[in-house]
Amino acid sequence: MNSTAEWISRSVSRLRAAAPAAAKEGGKGPEKQVRTSTDKSGVTDVVAKVAVPRSTHERLQATLRRGQEALSPRALRRLLTDLQEVVAPQVSELEGGRRAQAVAEWYATAEAEERRDMWLLLCEQFAPDATQFKSARQRYEAAAGTAEEGQAEISLRRALVSPRTRLLQRFAVFPEGMRFLVDMRAELLPLLKSDKRLLALDAELEHLFSTWFDVAFLELRRLSWDSPASLIEKLIKYEAVHDIRSWADLKNRLDSDRRCYGFFHPRLPNEPLIFVEVALVDKISSSITPLLDEAAAPADLAKATTAIFYSISNTQTGLRGVSFGDSLIKHVVETLTQEFPRLRTFATLSPIPGFRAWLGKHAGAMLERLDDKRRSELGRAVGFEPPQPTHFLAALDKPLELDAKSPVRQMLLECAAYYLGREMQEGKPVDAVARFHLGNGARVERLNWAGDPSAKGLKQSYGVMVNYLYDLKRIDKHRGLLAQGKVPVSGDIDSLCRN
């Protein structure tokens, strides 16, 4: 009887404590204070604290659901048990995969917040054993330089393999398991900024995908006008660089002087992971317009010496950040050279998607780099001396109307060169496309004014495009330079602006 009374008392206390928070914030959000004003009648300030979200450890020990929590403690415990049974040591891989499939079937019918509860369980209940890891690390450090070093390293590696790793591996066993994991990460990614608790699960998935989706395990297939309609429709759907506007546009990209390839994974047999579109021409292209010209006659393949990669689209949001290995471009190059031995130059015609947004924030810093003469020239061109960031950016509203000798145009190209050649974050280029190609061993070859005059091109980079060159004999050298924090550039940064 006493225990019942105590339980009721504790539950009522918890409900009373949560009530102001639920009324104010719906039980969500970080802890913060809500203070009522003190009036002249002497009413005392009241401070109500909005409770921070409870961890799964706390919720599993609780009896009642709080605020906006999706799963009740009982349902959360049941889900945890199901997940633990997937990865139970005595369970075979096949049986573990069957149990994982049952969890995936529950997940398919779950609400969004219920799915988040499963993610939180994966993050908080299947983390590495910190004590075991600390002990293994100490043994490894103590064994350095001794005969026991090898065994100590093995123990350390095992300690780094979390139960979460083994659990996710079990989900990859059943036939649709890989599709399930990729889609789950796609759902997870938009929530990482607002809920840092999910970062561990995202990092684990990205690490596993980097292994599972290495280019060595992918199959390269050519797409043509005769390919299955379902596959061609996916090319239209997933094209992320230059939208396919019509069937005529699509047919142009699959014409005789073009090649389009898809990379496929054996566990996702009918789902392309990457599309690579290539134009076969006689020199490095400086504009996307002729390449997308539906009325243009096919190029003479007998004269083709250059392969231009003008679109590379990752079709799976859940694989964002997975590089597929640095051999992706090499694989396509090898395939092309087998068919066209005359090809000598392999380059891209690439967008600079982050440039305009970056310049909007850093125009002032770029103007400060100018000497007095250049500053005066630019000031006269924009109609205000000394020029301010607002004046410079306003002068770029119609970039295609700027002539070749315009100080504004020259300054814009210099900013683009600096952005690609100098702006780094954590040792990598800030621009996503640059990060991909430079990370794969290319070098920045040339900037192209009005390379993409479309509305999208103007919005991204004022129409400026860039060629990345894949010099097959220097790929390793270029990657080495990037590892040292140096962007490989043809000539120097200044030479990029002379076009």
What are the residue numbers of the active site? 350, 437
Q: From CA 304, how far away is CA 499, in angstroms rounded?
A: 23
- Listing from the earlier edge strand, what are the strands of the sheet with 306-314? 219-223, 258-264, 274-281, 306-314, 345-348, 465-469, 443-448
| 468, β-bridge pairs | 444
Write down the residue that tokens 């096949």 correspond to: 94
Distances (CA, A) of 389 to 379, 385, 392, 430, 462: 11, 11, 5, 21, 16
Backbone angles phi, psi at 92, to 5 degrees: -70, 165
Distances (CA, A) of 119 to 69, 123, 175, 191: 13, 6, 21, 11
Q: Which SS3 state, helix, strand or coil, does residue 27 take?
A: coil
C-beta neighbour count of 169 within 10 angstroms: 19
Q: Which SS3 state, helix, strand or coil, does residue 369 take?
A: coil
**What tokens does 232 get?**
């061609």
Q: From CA 381, how far away is CA 16, in angstroms rounded?
A: 67
Query: Residue type at 368?
Result: E
**What tokens does 178 get?**
């890989």
Kindly state the helix (H) or strand (E) to which residue 102 belongs, with its residue range. Answer: helix 93-109
Q: From CA 9, how far away is CA 15, in angstroms rounded?
A: 10
Strand 219-223 and strand 443-448: the pairing is: unpaired
Strand 306-314 and strand 345-348: the pairing is: parallel
Q: From CA 465, how far away is CA 449, in angstroms rounded?
A: 7
Q: For the chain, how long is the longest CA-to-CA vector?
A: 94
- CA neighbours within 13 Å on the CB side: how many for 248? 6
Report the alpha-carbon angle 390-392-398, nearest 5. Answer: 110
**What tokens does 447 get?**
């900037």
